[in-house]
Structure 1
Amino acid sequence: MMLDRQTLQLYRRLLRYIRPYWKMVLLTLLALVVAAAMEPLMPALLKPLVDDSLIAKDPDAIRTIPLLLVAVFVIKGLAEYASKVASEWIAHRAILDIRADLFAKLNRLPQRVHDEFGTGKLLSKITYDVPQVGNTLSEAWIVIIRDSLIVLALLAYLFYVSWELTLLILVLAPVLAWIIDRASRLMRHASTEMQNNMGQLTHQLEEALNGHRDIKIYGSETYEEKRFWQVAETLRRHTMKVVSVAAANVPLVQVIAAIALAGVIYVASLLSAQDKFTPGEFIAYVTAMAMIFEPIRRLTNINRTVQQGMAAAQSIFALLDMPDEPNPGTLKPPIRGDIRFDDVTFAYPNSDRPALDHFSLHMPQGKTTALVGPSGSGKTTVVQLLARFYAPQSGIITCDGSDIQQIELGWWRQHIALVSQQVVLFDDTVAANIAYGRSDVDEAAIIKAAKAAHAWDFIQQLPRGLNTRIGENGSQLSGGQRQRIALARAFLKDAPILILDEATSALDNESEQAVQAALETLRQGRTVIVIAHRLSTIENADQIAVMEQGRLVELGTHAQLLEKNGRYAQLYRQAEHAEV
């Protein structure tokens, strides 16, 4: 087994997860010691069985030896049962703790990490990598400790019977160690590739499941099946590398061990012929030596599990060691909502041009600012920076005169509500989705928010009203109903800053009218930032900011910008022509 410094560090870190359950660990270790101690007793009992019972016909031996054999097997069976159950209990508690730590870390990672990894790869770490580590924590350490103890106990017995013969066996130990070490290195590399491929597979599967309508519409089933097959085939190849190395590893060890056994049997037979071994000693020694091969085989075989677990642990700890979302702010000022972008420049990672380029804009408190412009003009980036999913590389964003980077992150986000085209709902009740993240809200407040969002009428018609479960991402509701649930959530939060990102673009006329009416109510007295492609929905905005290539190119009311006959007027005419 490859016990290099990195492996030992990873395993020590994994063992921290079982440290809180030390009492159960002690019980497991005690059971393992008892089970290992029973192993040499079985060949040891063969000597009196042959010499005293079968050859000398001793009546006491005839009666006691079978009873002792039964006792040894009963004690061994109970010890193995206790160690198995206790080790699985420990492992599953550790798996629970690792999954909880991973989930907590995912919630605290910066947005750039989510963008970089993608949902599928992050999901794979919890669904695939953690069980691999679990196998290492349940099966691997039990096999390593138990079978190492068994090998030591049997070796001690072999030395006791004949130290000269036993030394012949140990001559081959360096050869076995080299084979196992070489196999470990190969399996670790292949296992790491397997972790990466599984993340890609999960990511591609998630994309296909989310985009199944588009796949059908564009007739790209064959194309997607080919892409999926290529990733799955790569995973299969790396899996087979692990399998082939592990499969070759065990027979090699067994062949070398068999050569040693043959040599020992030959020498032992010569000693027995010279009356230096009794028949019982000969049988006991050969049996003990034969018994030692099975734990050695298990120790060799468990190497695959250990290396897969170490590769998974490396992947998991790499994620856990990533820095949390930065939160340098300590201020908790009252938030009124007077927002300024002052000479802000920002570029996404791996991008060759800035998404915002020396961008300045004042969004007055209690007023509605609409952001318009072609795709890629920087509208969404303004929202990303305002919500502090990213931080500007230069320039400053202030609210009520305070740099938002100096405001405590949780406090800042408490004062922002977001309603977007891509509504995010959870597989829970209507009430839980409206009061999302808050346990201190009574039903009257939820109903009030639902009424303000024009959602109460349809909620009352649901089978269980507010207690109706709405399915994955609100799959049991229509688009307009889902949008109004999201609006009700924003009403309940009652934040002074409201971000509306294409909140009505995907709705039919009837749903849009209901949502627009709710939005007019929601906008009152708040600082509202609206992102819209349908310019007809932002004609009443207090100011419209026209953006291109990360810059502010025009600013004014709808009437002022039309009169100016510039970029906004051009976009507006294009929109009118498209609607006609």
Structure 2
Amino acid sequence: MLDRTTLNLYRRLLKYILPYKAMIAVTMLSLVVIAAMEPATAMVMKDLVDESLIAKNPDSFIQMPLLLAGIFIIKGFAEYFSKVFSQWIAQKAILAIRTDMYSKMQNLPFAKFQSYGTGNLMSKITYDVPQASNALSTAWVTLIRDSLTILALIAYLLYTSWQLTLLMLIVGPVVAWIIDKASKLMRNSSKAMQKNMGQMTHHLEESLNAYQDIKIYAAESYEQKRFKQTGSELLNNSMHVTKVSALNVPLVQVLAAIALSGVVYIAMQMSAKDLFTPGELLAYITAMALIFEPIRRLTSINETVQKGMAASESIFELLDQPDEPDQGSNKIEHLKGEIRFENVEFRYNNSTQPALNNFNLVIPAGKTTALVGQSGSGKTTLVNLITRFYDTTQGGIYLDGENLQSLDRNHLREQIALVGQKVTLFADTVAANIAYGRADIPREAIIAAAKAAHAWEFIEQLPQGLETQIGENGSLLSGGQRQRIAIARAFLKNAPILILDEATSALDNQSEKMIQEAMEVLKQNRTVIIIAHRLSTIENADQIAVLSQGQLVELGNHRQLLAHQGYYSGLYQQGELADES
């Protein structure tokens, strides 16, 4: 059960409880008291028979019941303290593990975060952590308490008759072999269960997010089949663990019972020859019987330990991932905002073709640059590189002459406001979403940002205004309202670099015109990068960079590019640039 791998995992898991040494000491003392009370019970039984029933010692008539009651009272108090304190320690450790995991998730490299998938990461927090929690609370208390109890009872049995006790211990190696085999089988199945749980969480999240699509394509049966298949795999692996655990316990009990029967037979023969007093015989049999329950619990707890260790492997696999790289430490005090791409190449991990190939472009400071191209041309990749969600494979990107990788990552992102096509809002108030992550923002500044984004007109109509709860991802707002909240957030950040990735795609023409008017104010003295398909959004840009298959194919303003009759003109004529004004 406790092989080297398990011990290493458990040792690492136990580091989370080391700060609570005083509580651990009280818990350990309670467990020692519980273990000591078991042989004490057998000893009282010996005197009860020999002194009270046979010798009829009048003093024992009062002493024996009081001793027996005292043992159970002391044991009861010790069990209470051990359970409460061990649970307190475990919950503190679980809080620390969850905090570390959440922190790690926040600091994962973007590519690694995407490779895990939201469902798998959620499964680690919601399923793996409680499994590890059981190994930190129930399991370690049971292991220590019952191991000490068995040792205390064996010590008493050896003291009473070492010959009989050695005979009983013959089955020990066989029991250990059974437990070891069961441990390996349960560990493998527990790992498979964790994988199934991650898949199930992923399917669940996917189907809930795609609720409308499932309905419109009548794919309910298809999704139910996928979910049931994953659930069936989880069921099979769960039952495999249950079967192994269920067989493990009775096998050990049968072996212990056979050994007990043999020892009882010999002990009765010895008692018949006056080698045992009746009290000693009863005490010996009582002590042997008391060993059964801790052995059963130790065998049963093996399932909890193996599930906890499999969960711990999953947890530590995440915690051991390197953080998002940030070797840079430089900061730019007076940022102008010129961005220069020099011979940049970038390739995604799962792709054989580069997303950008020998890419060169200068985005002037304080000007508006629009990125245009068909899907897959590299527009969003440029944004991901500027924000350092990814780092270049080759070449360099320079901000005011400083290589992005030499800049402090947090400092760089403080200089950028990003409004993406996929708006992310939080289940909080309107005000909290506009001032996201900044609790010290005055209410007047939030209102000013909302007005600048033309969001104030609908915010005023909400039941509680800025304090209105907007639901999960802003589900209580329309698409245009959600996008204006996100734009207001960018206004409030007031960063020198503004990136708009299809930021007005969910707005109607009237709302977009209002936003564009506000943008003209926001654009002043800022470097603005726009990705859009609406002609009205990009035609007034200072320059338009036209991309195709990861390369810059044209550069100029709207009139220059149309007059050139090249790639941009072709996109315009094909309707790729929609004129919805």
Q: TM-score range by the shorter chain?
A: over 0.9
Measured against aligned partners, the alpha-carbon deviations of 1:248-302 in whole angstroms (never above 9, x if no partner) come to: 1111101110110110011011111112112211111111101101101111111
> Mapping of 1:263-302 within 5 angstroms?
263-302=262-301
Residue-by-residue CA offset, 1:329-354 (whole Å, 9 max, x unaligned): 11111321101111100000021100
Q: Pairwise mapping of residues 300-339 of structure 1 onto structure 2 (< 5 A)?
A: 300-334=299-333, 335-339=335-339
- Matched with 2:229 is 230
Give the drift of 1:494.
0.7
How many angstroms does 1:457 deviate by? 2.1
What does residue 417 of structure 2 align with?
A: 417
SS at match of 1:243: helix
**1:437-473 per-position Cα deviation (integer Å, ceiling 9, x unaligned):** 1133211211211111111222222222222222111
Q: Is the 8 A contact 2:533 2:576 kept in 1?
A: no
Secondary structure of 1:374's match? coil
**Aligned counterpart, 1:435:** 435
For residue 412 of structure 1, report the CA deviation from its aligned partner. Answer: 0.4
Partner of 1:64: 63
The CA RMSD over aligned residues, in Å, is 1.4
CA distance in structure 2 between the aligned counterparts of 1:572 and 1:230, rounded to whole angstroms: 47
Report the secondary structure of 2:331's partner residue.
Answer: coil
Per mean C-alpha deviation after superposition, the further-off stretch among 569-578 and 296-305 is 569-578
Name the structure 2 match of 1:526: 526
Tell me which residue corresponds to 2:119: 120
Equivalent residue number for residue 252 of structure 2: 253
Q: Could you tell me how far 1:579 is from its partner in structure 2? A: 7.2
Q: Deviations over 1:527-567 (max 9, x none)?
A: 11111123342111111111111111111111111111121
Contact 1:487 1:518 in 2 (8 A): no
Q: Is the 8 A contact 2:533 2:577 kept in 1?
A: no
Q: Secondary structure at the match of 2:495?
A: coil
* Separation in structure 1 between the aligned mates of residue 579 and residue 447 of structure 2, nearest angstrom: 37
- Superposed CA deviations along residues 346-389 of structure 1, whole A, max 9, x for unmatched, are 00002110011111111111111111111111111000101001
C-alpha contact 2:535 2:579 (8 A) present in aligned 1: no
Q: Does 1:478 align with 2:460?
A: no
- By how many angstroms is 1:74 displaced? 0.6
- 2: CA distance, partners of 1:510 / 1:44: 91
Alpha-carbon distance in 1 for matches of 2:319, 2:576: 51
Tell me the equivalent position of 1:374: 374
How far the C-alpha of 1:131 sits from its partner, in A, is: 0.6
- Does 2:496 align with 1:496? yes
TM-score (norm 2): 0.97
CA distance in 2, matches of 1:450, 1:118: 33
Match in the other structure for 1:137: 136
SS at structure 1 position matched to 2:512: helix
User: Equivalent residue for 1:362?
Assistant: 362
Deviations 1:399-426 (A, max 9, x none): 1111111111000000000011211111
Q: Is the 8 A contact 1:449 1:488 kept in 2?
A: yes
Aligned partners of 1:278, 1:385: CA distance in 2, in Å? 85
The residue that corresponds to 1:551 in the other structure is 551
Q: Report the residue type matching 1:39 in the other structure.
A: E
Distance (whole Å) between structure 2 residues aligned to residue 347 and residue 167 of structure 1:
68
The structural deviation recorded for 1:479 is 1.5
Displacement of 1:577 after TM fit?
Answer: 9.4
| Preserved contact between residue 368 and residue 528 of structure 1 (Cα < 8 Å) | yes
Q: Match of 2:445?
A: 445
In 1, Cα distance between the equivalents of 2:413 and 2:440?
Answer: 18
Checking the alignment, whether the CA contact within 8 Å between 1:532 and 1:538 is kept in structure 2 is yes
Please give the per-residue CA displacement for 1:136-180, whole angstroms capped at 9, x wherever unaligned: 001000000000010011111111111110001111111111111
Q: Which stretch shows the higher mean deviation, 187-196 or 100-109?
A: 187-196
Gaps of 5+ in 1: none
Is the CA contact 1:483–1:515 (under 8 Å) kept in the aligned structure 2?
A: no
The 1-side partners of 2:403 and 2:577 are apart by: 42
Aligned CA distance change for structure 1 residues 131 and 375 (closer, same or farther; 3 Å): same
What residue number does 2:8 align with?
Answer: 9
Given that residues 142 and 301 in structure 2 are in contact (C-alpha distance below 8 angstroms), is that contact kept between their aligned partners in structure 1? yes
Q: Is the 8 A contact 2:498 2:527 kept in 1?
A: yes
| Match in the other structure for 1:402 | 402
Aligned-residue sequence identity (percent) comes to: 63
CA distance in 1, matches of 2:414, 2:351: 31
Q: Distance in 2 between matches of 1:578 and 1:325?
A: 38
Is the CA contact 1:504–1:516 (under 8 Å) kept in the aligned structure 2?
Answer: no
Displacement of 1:107 in angstroms is 0.6
1:94-109 to structure 2, matched below 5 A, reads 94-109=93-108
Tell me by how many angstroms 1:511 deviates. Answer: 3.3
Return the offset for 1:208: 0.6
Q: Is the partner of 2:426 in helix, strand or coil?
A: coil
Contact 1:51 1:279 in 2 (8 A): yes
Q: Is the 8 A contact 1:535 1:575 kept in 2?
A: no
Q: How does 1:66-81 map to 2 (within 5 A)?
A: 66-81=65-80
Secondary structure of the equivalent of 1:162? helix
Kindly state the Cα deviation for residue 483 of structure 1 after the two structures are TM-superposed: 1.2
- Give, as a single letter, the amino acid of the residue that structure 2 aligns with 1:153: A
- Match for residue 200 of structure 1? 199
Distance 1:425 1:370 in 2: 26
Give me the whole-angstrom Cα distance separating, in 2, the residues matched to 1:158 and 1:454: 84
- Equivalent residues of 2:571, 2:577 under 8 A apart: no
1:202-221 per-position Cα deviation (integer Å, ceiling 9, x unaligned): 11110011111101011111
C-alpha deviation, 1:578, in angstroms = 7.3
3-state SS in 1 of match to 2:574: helix
1-structure distance, mates of 2:513, 2:535: 15
Aligned to 1:148: 147
More moved, 125-134 vs 518-527: 518-527
Q: Which residue of 2 aligns with 1:218?
A: 217
User: Secondary structure at 1:476's aligned position in 2?
Assistant: coil
Contact preservation (8 Å) 2:535, 2:578: no
Change in Cα spacing, 1:279 to 1:170, as seen in structure 2 (3 Å) is same
Q: Which amino acid aligns with 2:214?
A: I
Secondary structure at 1:411's aligned position in 2? helix
Amino acid at match of 2:150: V
Partner of 2:513: 513
Residue 461 of structure 2 corresponds to 461
SS of equivalent to 1:533: coil
CA distance in 2, matches of 1:341, 1:195: 44
Q: Take 2:378 and 2:76, find their aligned partners in 1: how far apart are those partners?
A: 68
Moved more, 496-505 or 462-471: 462-471
Report the number of matched residues.
579
What's the secondary structure of 1:463's corresponding residue?
A: coil
Tell me, in whole angstroms, the C-alpha distance in 2 between the residues paired with 1:41 and 1:527: 81
AA aligned opposite 1:320? L
**Counterpart of 2:276 in structure 1: which amino acid?**
F
Matched with 2:164 is 165
How far the C-alpha of 1:571 sits from its partner, in A, is 1.1
- Take 1:311 and 1:35, find their aligned partners in 2: how far apart are those partners? 30
Q: Is the 8 A contact 1:480 1:512 kept in 2?
A: no
Q: For the residues of structure 2 that align with 1:109 and 1:309, how far apart are their CA atoms?
A: 24
Show the counterpart of 2:173.
174
Q: Give the secondary-structure state (helix, strand or coil) at the position aligned to 1:172.
A: helix
Shift of 1:506: 2.3
Residue segments in structure 2 that go unaligned for 5+ positions in a row: none
For 1:213 and 1:432, the matched residues in 2 are separated by 28
Distance in structure 2 (CA, Å) of the matches to 1:82 and 1:499: 58
CA distance in 1, matches of 2:172, 2:542: 82
